[in-house]
Structure 1
Amino acid sequence: MCRRFFVQRTYVLDTSVLLSDPQAINRFDEHEVVLPLVVVTELEAKRTHPELGYFARQALRLLDDLRISNGRLDEPVPLPDGGTLRVELNHSELHVLPSGFQSGDNDSRILAVAQSFANEGRNVVLVSKDLPMRVKASAMGLAAEEYRAELAITSGWTGLAELAVSTSQIDELYDSETLDVDEARDLPCHTGLVLYSDRGSALGRVTPNKTVQLIRGDREAFGLHGRSAEQRIALDLLLDPDIGIVSLGGRAGTVLPVSGCQPRTDVNRIDHRSAHMCQSTRSRIYQPRKPSACGLRDYGIAAGNLLPASSGKSGRDQLEGGDSK
């Protein structure tokens, strides 16, 4: 009989990992996670950073919760998925590194910890979001990986839920475009739903009277179609004239200005063409933009100082481009 032997790996994380995902220490299953002490020091230095401060504080709070639960962190403490975490105070001697890496900076200290554990015979993997850091580790003969786990939402409302229903309920929803489901009554109004059964699925939304309203996948505005469940539900919300405010959030590149602005203008156009003048038309689109540094620019990718970089020209260009199609 063939047996599978478990080989535990030692993942050494640098600061960039925790700044991208404060819950990163819980993403390595049953393996050992090591945080060099300099990582905690760098997190402390980032606590008041305008962009990274939140992530640094969240990571430090998680470490403090583990400290409270276990008393100390210099020895391996258990993690929920069976792995362990330790803050490594030792193994930072630079003499274990090649001469070209003994600069004494924070990267060198993290590499020294990884190299020291590797010298002890452990299966070490250095995990970093920083490309030069991974290159340095590979140049030393260490295994290096990019941290790719998505940032999990640990708090706040996502606006989306999943419900398991019967095949007959899916058919009823498609036939009548409405469905009464007991589980949906406990959800907030306008929650997007992914309903699935053994033989099919459907998208819906919780109405004010707590029934489920069907969301059709072929709905569009100015030629825009939702591809994912989230986009289709967002488009349905944006096209509903009875909803006064719709808040959408997402990372750069998710086409929020187009999806957020164009349906609103579509609603306005429909209202003004109707026989009666609807008084609930949208008169303003609010498009916030963080003045984040990007490369060599102080205020994002747009050229200029704060005023032109934060103007609404990009949103207006997208509206005009969609309107011309």
Structure 2
Amino acid sequence: MGNEDRKFFILDTNILLHDPLAIYAFKEHNVVIPMTVLEELDRIKDRQKEVSRDARIVIRSLEDIFKDASPEAISQGVPLYTDNTEKSGRIAIFTDHHQPISQEFFTEDEPDNRIINSALYLQQVKERTQVILVTKDINMRLKAKGAGLHYVEDYRKDQLIDDIQLLSKGFRCLNGSFWDQVEDCESDTQGRDTFHHLDANLIEGTYCNEYILDETKQFAAKVISEQAGVLRLQDLGRDKLMSCSAWGVQPKNIYQAMAIDALLDPDIELVILTGPAGCGKTLLAMATALELVIEQGIYDKVIVTRNTPEIAESIGFLPGTEEDKMMPWLAAITDTLEVLHKNDECPNGSLDYIMEKANIQFKSVNFMRGRSIQNSFVLLDECQNLTASQLKTIITRCGEGTKIVCSGNLAQIDSNYLTPVTSGLTYIVERFKAFEGSANVYLNGVVRSRLASFAEENL
């Protein structure tokens, strides 16, 4: 694997499990797969978990690349792309070595140690090129740096943002008064709605269905489109926005008001709700679901789903039907329904009636693949623990006349393999923000209770 200008990227097993096609992410540079990685993939491929599927995909991809290569070519490196151009990267399988340079640091007992030793050996042999170990294991990165490896990196191809603070909130607050900053504006009225047309340079970087607020607490609008340098806003008005309601639930702050507006809009097919615990994500989603299904009759049923924790990935050990088995993980939904009807004369009777009238169904994420959901209101709760591929699987199930709401708190990620910047929730916020059929709202502020608000801020 010649050409000293090309870097050597040594991939850890967790990189390939995180992204089975990661070998193609390094462009013209060289990719090295240690033999230890193949051994770990072989042990993982037969496990009864989602990760085993990724391991099999990696093994098949490597077999397709090396199937016609000789043993010498496999160790020296073969082109990653069939065109075999000079810009094509190369990939090689590296037989792990026990080198004296790394013997004083690590024994060969652990797979991570053997991979680090391989990187240290290549760093010594390839003095004129950069040898980079790529791993998502933070402790392994620390060990490699401590052992003297010059370049150790995380895998960032799937990170659309560098810092979670840069994640779009779905709205922006302008300094001062909005109208004091507008020099030229044309307005028109269509029915009850008023639209403003102004220079797009006034508010740069806007996207469809983004909400615009100002410090006067009077102006509120939503971006409809931007064409030929002209920004089209729908004037909502703060008072009008705060007066909207769904199933008797009225917003407690402007953020909940924006969420209800997006949830009730029939032209918005995907609504993403993010925010801290207690900000009202699930309550608002369920209230609008009941409003749209029972009162307005826009949808036929409500489907509620979420991922089950990894410690109990299979729901087969619980008795009953699929919905019965999902009840422990969907207690937040039943709690919300109880809150919405706690003042009824017969809360239990109201709850049973609403469950039947709205045709509320509890489904497991594990069984969503292959389905086609038509004319339904889908609530995907706690989706901060889902990967981008899992969310893609669920969102692509939605057919004609279906609205899906994804909610989650990026501060409550339970998965060992996800961080706030790699979560599927972050991924869809960034990928869908320019889609005219989606809206994203960050619900700022905890309204559950004074105790919950203090805990969110101080714990």
Distance in 1 (alpha carbons) for counterparts of 2:88 and 2:141: 27
1:239 equivalent to 2:239? Answer no
Larger RCO: Structure 1 or Structure 2 (Cα < 8 Å, ≥ 6 residues apart)?
2
Aligned to 1:113: 118
Task: Map residues 71-82 of structure 1 onto 2, 5 A cutoff.
Answer: 73-80=74-81, 82=88
Aligned to 1:311: 329
Aligned to 1:99: 104
Distance in 1 (alpha carbons) for counterparts of 2:42 and 2:232: 46
Residue number among 131, 134, 153 corresponding to 1:145 in the alignment = 153
Q: TM-score, normalised by structure 2?
A: 0.43
Distance in 2 (alpha carbons) for counterparts of 1:66 and 1:196: 45
Task: Map residues 254-293 of structure 1 onto 2, 5 A cutoff.
Answer: 262-269=284-291, 278-279=296-297, 284-293=302-311
CA offset digits 1:35-84 (Å, max 9, x no partner): 10111111121113313112212222221222247566333222356322
Contact residue 36 and residue 113 of structure 1 kept, 8 A: yes
Task: Map residues 106-255 of structure 1 onto 2, 5 A cutoff.
Answer: 106-120=111-125, 121=127, 122-142=129-149, 143-150=151-158, 197=227, 199=229, 222=251, 239=264
Contact residue 31 and residue 84 of structure 1 kept, 8 A: yes
The answer for unaligned runs of 5 or more in structure 1 is 153-173, 178-191, 204-213, 301-305
Deviation, structure 1 residue 259: 5.5
Give the match's secondary structure for 2:10: strand
CA offset digits 1:91-141 (Å, max 9, x no partner): 522433133412432112111211111111142111111112111111111
Aligned to 1:86: 92
Q: 1:198 to 1:60 in 2, by over 3 A?
A: farther
Q: TM-score, normalised by structure 1?
A: 0.58
Deviation, structure 1 residue 291: 3.2
Distance in 1 (alpha carbons) for counterparts of 2:54 and 2:298: 39
Deviation, structure 1 residue 21: 1.2
Contact residue 135 and residue 155 of structure 2 kept, 8 A: yes
Aligned to 2:169: none
Give the match's secondary structure for 2:64: helix
Distance in 1 (alpha carbons) for counterparts of 2:103 and 2:30: 25
Distance in 2 (alpha carbons) for counterparts of 1:99 and 1:140: 9
Distance in 2 (alpha carbons) for counterparts of 1:85 and 1:198: 46
Contact residue 128 and residue 145 of structure 1 kept, 8 A: yes
Distance in 1 (alpha carbons) for counterparts of 2:61 and 2:271: 28
Q: 1:253 to 1:41 in 2, by over 3 A?
A: farther
Aligned to 1:52: 51
Distance in 1 (alpha carbons) for counterparts of 2:298 and 2:225: 31
Distance in 1 (alpha carbons) for counterparts of 2:10 and 2:51: 21
The answer for unaligned runs of 5 or more in structure 2 is 82-86, 161-187, 194-207, 210-223, 246-250, 315-323, 340-445, 450-459
Deviation, structure 1 residue 261: 6.6
Deviation, structure 1 residue 15: 0.5
Alignment coverage as a number of residue pairs: 253
CA offset digits 1:209-239 (Å, max 9, x no partner): xxxxx9x9x989856869xxxx99xx85x53
